[in-house]
Structure 1
Amino acid sequence: MELKKDLIQQIQTIITNAQAKAIRSVDTERMLMYWQIGKTIFEEEQQGNDRAEYGKFLLKSISNTFQPQFGTGFSVRQLEMNRQFYRTFPNTNALRSQFNWTHYRTLIRIDNQDKIEFYVAETEKNNWSARQLERQVNSQLFERLLLSNDVQAVLAVAREEKLPTDAKEIIKDPMVLEFLGLRSESAYYEKDFEAAIITHLQEFILELGNGFSFVARQKRIHIEGDEFFIDLVFYNRLLQCFVLIEIKTTKLTHQDIGQLQMYVNYYDRFEKQDFENPTIGILLCTDKNDAVVKISLPENNSTIIASKYQLYLPTEQQLIDEVKKEIEKLDAN
Structure 2
Amino acid sequence: MEIRRDFFLKIQSIISTAQAKAIRAVDNERVIMYWQIGKIIFEEEQNGKERADYGRFLIKSISDNFQPQFGSGFSIRQLQRYRQFYRTFPIASALRTQLSWTHYKTIIGFDNQDKREFYLAESNKNSWTARQLERQVNSQLFERLLLSNDVKDVLAVAREEKSLSDAKEIIKDPMVLEFLGLKREAAYYEKDFEAAIITHLKDFLLEIGNGFSFVARQKRIHLDGEEFFIDLVFYNRLLQCFVIVEIKTTKLKHEHIGQLQMYVNYYDRFEKQGFENPTIGILLCADKNDAVVKITLPENNKTIIGSKYQLYLPTEQQLIDEVKKEIDKLDNNDIESPSTN
* TM-score between the two structures when normalised by the length of structure 2: 0.93
SS at match of 1:231: strand
Match of 1:211 in 2: 211
- The one-letter code matched in structure 2 to 1:23 is I
Tell me which moved more, 21-30 or 281-290.
21-30
Distance of aligned partners of 1:10 and 1:168 in 2 relative to their CA distance in 1, 3 Å threshold: closer
Structure 1, 192-201 or 27-36: larger mean CA deviation: 27-36
Partner of 1:49: 50
Inter-partner Cα distance in structure 1 for 2:4 and 2:302: 59
Q: Distance in 1 between matches of 2:79 and 2:192?
A: 47
Bigger shift: residues 289-298 or 322-331: 322-331
Greater mean deviation of Cα atoms: 244-253 or 6-15: 6-15
State how 1:117-156 maps to structure 2 within 5 Å: 117-156=117-156
Aligned-partner SS, 2:58 = helix
Quote how far apart the aligned CAs of 1:279 are: 0.9
Q: Which residue of 2 aligns with 1:263?
A: 263
Separation (CA, whole Å) in 2 of partners of 1:263 and 1:4: 47
Alignment partners' CA distance in 2, 1:272 and 1:20: 39
Counterpart position of 2:336: none
Q: Distance in 2 between matches of 1:214 and 1:39?
A: 45
Measured after TM superposition, the shift of residue 281 of structure 1 is: 0.6
Where structure 1 has 5 or more consecutive residues not aligned to the other structure, the ranges are: none
Provide the residue aligned with 1:114 in structure 2.
Answer: 114
Q: Deviations over 1:56-95 (max 9, x none)?
A: 2222221111111111111111111111111111110000
CA gap 1:309/1:50 in 2 versus in 1, 3 angstroms: farther
Distance in 2 (CA, whole Å) between partners of 1:131 and 1:98 is: 14
Amino acid in the other structure paired with 1:264 = V
Question: Quick one: structure 1 residues 8 and 42, their matched pair in 2 at CA, closer, same or farther if it must change by over 3 Å?
Answer: same
Alpha-carbon offset, residue 229 of structure 1:
0.8
Alignment of 1:247-262 (within 5 A): 247-262=247-262
Amino acid at match of 1:266: Y
Q: What is the alpha-carbon root mean square deviation over aligned residues?
A: 1.8
Looking at structure 2, the residues matched to 314 and 266 of structure 1 have their Cα atoms a distance apart, in angstroms, of 36
2:243 partner amino acid: V
Change (3 A) 1:282 1:18: closer
Give the CA deviation at 1:127. 1.0
Counterparts of 2:331 and 2:129, CA distance in 1: 39
Task: Note the alpha carbon deviations across 1:142-190, whole angstroms, 9 max, x for none.
Answer: 1111111101111111111121100101100000001111111111110
Compared CA separation, residues 297 and 7, structure 1 to 2 (3 A): closer
CA displacement at 1:99 relative to structure 2: 0.9
Provide the rounded CA distance (Å) in 2 between the counterparts of 1:232 and 1:8.
37
CA offsets 1:238-295 (integer angstroms, 9 cap, x no match):
1111111111111111111111111111111221112211111100011101111111
Corresponding residue for residue 281 of structure 1: 281
Tell me what 2:231 maps to. 231
Unaligned 5+ segments in structure 2 are 334-341
| SS at structure 2 position matched to 1:246 | strand
What is the identity percentage for the equivalent residue pairs of Structure 1 and Structure 2? Answer: 78
Residue 149 of structure 1: SS of its match in structure 2? coil
- The superposition leaves residues 26-55 of structure 1 with CA deviations (integer Å, 9 ceiling, x where unpaired) of 22111111111111112222323354x322
Q: 1:74 maps to what in 2? A: 74
Secondary structure in structure 2 of the residue aligned to 1:160: coil
Aligned-partner residue type, residue 269 of structure 1: R
**Superposition deviation, residue 138 in structure 1:** 1.2
Which string of whole-angstrom CA distances, capped at 9 and with x for unpartnered residues, describes residues 92-112 of structure 1? 000011111111111111111
Q: Once the 2 structures are TM-superposed, how far is the Cα of residue 25 of structure 1 from its aligned partner?
A: 2.1
Matches within 5 A, 1:25-40: 25-40=25-40
Aligned to 2:63: 63
